[in-house]
Structure 1
Amino acid sequence: MHGNLLKNPNADEDLEHWEVTENGGDGWKAENMPGDCGESHSDESITKYFATSFEYSCRADCGASYTLTVSLLDENHETSHTFVDYGPGLRFISFEHGGQDTKYWQGWFGIRVTGSSVTIDI
């Protein structure tokens, strides 16, 4: 089995298929492009350009902390503590990430996440 098991990993469909488990500050916000990249180039003669894909990043003017938790869960959604020899009882993979800006500014200045992926190679 190949391919990403996460639905809507880039928030192309806003926060559809995301379960917000914590929502402090001003909450979550889906952006068109990560960080300050924007959708157009400042030089109008440039019609094509390349922007790298960020796994996570923060603004240049405000640091941020980032956390990632991935768990293998059985049919009761309980955590298994190992990723090897997990056996036939595995039913769910819990993938959770988030963060906080280090200056606690009001607005959306914290971590940016995109391109998340969970894959299984059999």
Structure 2
Amino acid sequence: MCFSGTTQHCWNSTAHLSAVLFDFRKFTPTKYCTSCPSQFRSGRLLKRSSLVVAGKAKVKMSGNLLKNPNGDENLEHWELTENGGDEWRTEEISGNCEQTFYDETVTKYFCTSFEECLKRQVIDLLAEGFDPENLDFVQPGVNVEDWYTTRHDCGCIYKLTVTLLDENKEVLAEFHPDDVTLDPDIDDCSWKKVTHTFTDYGPGLRFISFEHGGQDSKYWKGWFGVRVTGSSVTIDL
């Protein structure tokens, strides 16, 4: 795409773009070069993008797309896909674990029981205001973060599955790390972080499924299983 009144450089000229920041809000394309992507030749701009740097859209990251990630609203917004043992519940972060959470504003967590407990949210990206053309063309990074820990007196198992889905909820990409078993006799009970970023997953992203949980490893009645909090899903748009 060439801009009227500028040199003949187009979007594909990374040398030119590496030195200049273009603000979409200040330029109106009036000329197009045939080597530009069809999205630009048609005159459609990336609606949620604000900057282009070195040929790639650069925009301010969105906030956390997960609702109630820390249990402040108890179990609201979560689908309890497995609710075994004495079932899911929330607790205040307290002396049950020697380590406090890194973020002092987080005061609660979700805790699991003696049988498998899993909970899920499916994020509808179009309902959240993302433009489908942006998602398809930019294929922005999808960033996942989760935190988990065990008690000082009972081990636990932690599970996480995050899936990118198309409009028919067919899988585009999946992050499913090996289940983690924590033993307080070997592992400290500090909070553990898991992160992942999806890239180059192809066009069609419309939903993100985030599911996590686990259970205890000693089959004790009550809520001695893995604790989870501080979960987040963000998109680089």
TM-score band w.r.t. shorter chain: 0.7 to 0.9
1:72 corresponds to which letter in structure 2?
Answer: L
Alpha carbons of structure 1 residues 30 and 90: separation in structure 2 relative to 1, 3 Å: same
Query: Which has the larger displacement, 76-85 or 65-74?
Result: 76-85
Runs of 4 or more consecutive aligned structure 1 residues displaced over 4 Å after TM superposition: none
Instruction: For structure 2, list consecutive stretches of 5 or more residues without a partner in the other structure.
Output: 1-60, 104-146, 175-197
Normalised to the residue count of structure 2, the TM-score between the two structures is 0.43
| Structure 1 residues 34 and 95: CA distance shift in structure 2, 3 A | farther
Larger Rg computed on CA atoms: 2
RMSD (Å), alpha carbons: 2.3
Q: Does 1:52 align with 2:112?
A: no
> By percentage of residues, which structure has more strand?
2
Q: Which has the higher contact order (CA 8 A, sep 6+)?
A: 1
Measured in 1, the distance between the counterparts of 2:95 and 2:232 equals 20
Name the CA distance, whole Å, in 2 between partners of 1:64 and 1:24.
14
Between 82-91 and 5-14, report the one with greater CA deviation. 82-91
Structure 1 residues 17-96: aligned runs within 5 Å: 17-33=77-93, 36=96, 51-53=100-102, 55-81=147-173, 83-96=198-211
* Distance 1:11-1:26 versus aligned 2 partners, 3 A rule: same
1:13-49 per-position Cα deviation (integer Å, ceiling 9, x unaligned): 0100111001111110011226715xxxxxxxxxxxx
- Residue in 1 that maps onto 2:67: 7
What SS does structure 1 have at the residue aligned with 2:159?
A: strand
Tell me which amino acid in the other structure corresponds to 2:96: D
May I ask how many residue pairs the two structures share in their alignment?
111
Q: 1:66 to 1:21 in 2, by over 3 A?
A: same
Query: Unaligned 5+ residue runs, structure 1?
Result: 38-49
- For residues 49-94 of structure 1, give each alpha carbon's deviation from its aligned partner in whole angstroms, at most 9, with x where no partner exists: x932481111111000101101001112221136333344111110
TM-score (norm 1): 0.80
Question: Could you tell me the percent identity over the aligned residues?
Answer: 69
